Amino acid sequence: MAHPHIRLLATGGTIAGNAGSAIERGYRPGQIGADELLAAAGSLKLAATFEGREIAAIGSQDIGWAQWNALHAEIVSAMADDAVDGIIVTHGTDTAEETAFLLDLTLQAGKPVVLVGAMRPADAVGSDGMRNLANAARVAGDPVAAARGVLVVMSDQVFAAIDVRKAATGGAEAFRGFPRGPVASVTPTSLDWFGPPDRIGREARFAWPGALPKVPILTAYAGMEADAVGCALAGGAQGIVLAGLGQGNAAGPVIEALAQAGVPVVRSTRVDQGSVDRNLEVDDDRRGFVAARGLGPAKARILLQVLIASGIDRPETMQREFDRR
């Protein structure tokens, strides 16, 4: 049986980073190109064949519309190529959850799409990059992975894009999933799914937008004043996500300013995990807010941007999209 053929799309990040020393804390992301990554992977003798393409060579803190637009186009092209069985995207860990979720919302369930990164640069002692890449190849080469949406592989675990988040600033096991944990465990020689696929034959949830609207995240804090809302609107905000206290709350004047903002408002939470439900502490029905439910602020922003770009602006319609899994 022929090995699966995987197209690797490189965007930079720590997995492609060098520190110049095995024990140096600082490093430069995006120093290793796609060909060099694949040459290193070739020494592992993985049960797959590869080709690589360079999308960007940046730290993921700098990723934005230009890179997302190019990346989406390359993935669509790879899905249409009969010679390609799966797609791997190497990516920095800081915004991997946002890229994965944006792609998950806008790609059909055609071929496996797997994001992978590393918490330690390539030349660091104990670097996790090559093992994560080998694990990603195992997942991207499994046809069953195609019916599970976009996936993120880190530290011998597989996460669904809608669940995954970076939960620690350091350490190889920095990623978690909420409300589900990992959907599979993986090693370079094994892959164990924890449940059946749920995306069989599913088309893309949204069309790829021509652009993404400006949507800032306002983080609530004790003593926060309402002028933060005015500043966001003055800066051209077309929607606002509140990273609120507890159940997505904020000081009364802030809540009232958001209710009068004239743009869609989604209440999420600055708490590490948990659901923000409608009308629990805030009267969403009266104020026209949307509750983020299980999405944290970063992914709530992505979904709100896609909804606005798709012409969806009624709170009740937006809420149905935030309620979906």
Which of 14, 95, 99, 269 does the annotation list as catalytic?
14
For CA atoms 21, 22, 24, 30, the dihedral sign is: positive
The CA distance from 78 to 85, in Å, is 9
The answer to the question of whether 60 is labelled as a binding residue is yes
Active site residue 14: yes
Contacts of 1 (CB under 8 A, 6+ apart): none
- Amino acid letter at 83? A
Tokens matching residue 90: 């190497």
For CA atoms 255, 256, 258, 263, the dihedral sign is: positive
The answer to the question of whether 156 is labelled as a binding residue is no
The answer to the question of whether 275 is labelled as a binding residue is no
Phi, psi of 165 (to 5 degrees): -155, 155
Q: Give residue 99's region: left, alpha or beta (phi > 0; psi -120 to 50).
A: alpha
Q: Give residue 262's region: left, alpha or beta (phi > 0; psi -120 to 50).
A: left
Phi, psi of 194 (to 5 degrees): -95, -5
Give me the torsion for CA of 168, 166, 198, 70, rounded to 10°: -160
- Closest residue by Cα to residue 104 from 87, 117, 118: 87
Question: Which sequence positions are flagged as catalytic?
Answer: 14
Q: Which residues are annotated as a binding site?
A: 60, 93-94
